[in-house]
Amino acid sequence: MTRRGWRWTAAGAALAALVVLAPSRWMDCDRPDWVSRAPDGAHSLTACARPMLMAMPGGGGDNDGWLVLRDARGFIQGAVDVSLIRQTSNEVRWAGRTASIPLVATLHGGPERSLPVAFATDRLWRLRGLVGLTPTDAEFR
């Protein structure tokens, strides 16, 4: 194998390791602000606030967080970074596999995928959240 071939192989192996080893608890929360389930039960949308290390008096509810769309097995199918989690208290509108909160976010869930594909998709969303590559709520306004 050529030197260039080894570089591509190493890059692919590093990417695969990042996908598999992405923090498994990133974008999970023990106490979500709210959870909305699709009428057919195939998806759920969860609002999770990021923990604040410190806040000014009266500003404890001004934290940011994520809206996370999961399939029935709990794998992440989409996420949106929300600048003010309190603004997500609107009612979620479900249309098939799509969850929508007006002026905040619209998340599209896909069909049920095989376990390896669902796992890889979940890990990629977690990795995107870790490095700040998830869409923001400002993109939906």
Summarize pLDDT for 49-93 with one digit per residue, the tens: 887 777 666 665 668 889 999 999 999 999 999 988 877 776 899
**Amino acid at residue number 18:** L
Choose among 122, 99, 89, 96: nearest CA to 111.
96
Q: What is the mean pLDDT of residues 95-111?
A: 89
Contacts of 50 (CB under 8 A, 6+ apart): 63, 64, 65, 66
For 29, 40, 88, 93, 100, the CA distances from 84, given in Å and listed in that order, are 16, 29, 8, 19, 17
Percent share of the chain, pLDDT over 70: 85
Phi and psi dihedrals of 29, rounded to 5?
A: -140, 145
- The answer to whether the CB of 93 falls within 8 A of the CB of 99 is yes
Which of 4-13, 38-47, 70-79, 130-139 has the least mean pLDDT?
4-13
Higher per-residue pLDDT: 98 or 31: 98
Query: HSE on the CB side for 88, CA within 13 Å?
Result: 32
Task: Kindly report the average pLDDT of the chain as a whole number.
Answer: 84
Q: pTM higher than 0.85 for the full model?
A: no
Tracing tokens 């404890």 back to the chain, one arrives at 60
